[in-house]
Homo-oligomer: A and B are copies of this chain.
Amino acid sequence: MDSMTIIAVASIAIAGLTTGFGTMAPALGEGRSVAAALTSLAQQPDASATITRTLFVGLAMIESTAIYCFVVSMILIFANPFWNHAIAQVAGQ
């Protein structure tokens, strides 16, 4: 196994695992938030405006952690500095 293969394999593996595991907790957290929002709506229908607004802000906040993971995956697949360096090294060889 030459260097480029190893870097490619590591990038593939980590990109997938980061997205696969890193989106678990946001999905669970959002599920909890939505469930709480629905229970609250049933309990106090008059406060639906405040509840909905707070829910959306919260979901955006939680979604941001999933997006961090997705961004790291995309960097590893499409803008990987180590891979670029290896290609440059091979090309300049």
Contact = CB atoms under 8 A, between A and B. Distances in A.
Copy tally for this chain in the complex stands at 14
A13 B5 CA distance: 15
Given A31-B32, A41-B51, A6 B9 contact: yes
A93 to B, nearest CB: 13
Interface residues of A, number: 79
Interface string A24-45: 1111111111111111111111
A8 B6 CA distance: 9
A25 B1 CA distance: 36
Interface of A: 1-48, 50-52, 54-59, 61-66, 68-70, 72-73, 75-78, 80-83, 85-87
